[in-house]
Amino acid sequence: MLVLGLDPGLALSGYALIGGRAGALELVEAGCLRTPAGMAHEQRLAQLAREWRALLGSRQPAAIAVERLFVGRNLRTALPVAEARGVLLCGVAEAALPLHTYGPSEVKQAVSGNGAASKQQVARMVRLLLRGAVVPGPDDVTDACAVAICHHHAAGTRRAIAAQVAR
């Protein structure tokens, strides 16, 4: 199953296409969609939408996984991230792909076994779970990998439960 993990942002949106099965996950592709800081805000959102549609159009993921937005104390950064997330989710809906969302602690728990894991712990476990794959780019790409891995784990658990219930 191919899962496209997404870490939305206005300047950088990390993405990671993860394939395989439990115990044998592989990083198929990963990177960032970027918008220039000097560009008008609405133009950045439009560029992000175009790049996201192009990415979705050239890949065939079975599902999209995204982390729920965490709003801390800094609303000045949370609002542009929320707007970028909305643009990306609209693209998911247009592509008619299944969307799965996970909270930050769910992602950390699924990847590292600790819902309060540090970014470094999550990054180390992402590399281990992807069998030593080099994750290109900034933390946004590693976060996208973690979200995709989380969905792989969750989907596997749901399949196992469904198989037991069907017996």
pTM score, two decimals? 0.92
In angstroms, what is the C-alpha Rg of the chain?
A: 16
Point out the catalytic residue in the list 67, 94, 139, 143: 67
Domains identified in the chain and CATH numbers = 3-166 (3.30.420.10)
Point out the catalytic residue in the list 7, 29, 51, 139: 7
Known catalytic residue at 143: no
Helix, strand or coil for residue 151?
A: helix
Known catalytic residue at 67: yes
Residues whose CB falls within 8 Å of the CB of residue 160, separated by 6 or more in sequence, listed in order: none
pLDDT digit string (tens) for 23-80? 899 999 999 999 999 999 999 999 999 999 999 999 889 999 999 887 766 677 788 9
Known catalytic residue at 7: yes
Which of the two residues, 115 and 161, has the higher pLDDT score?
A: 115
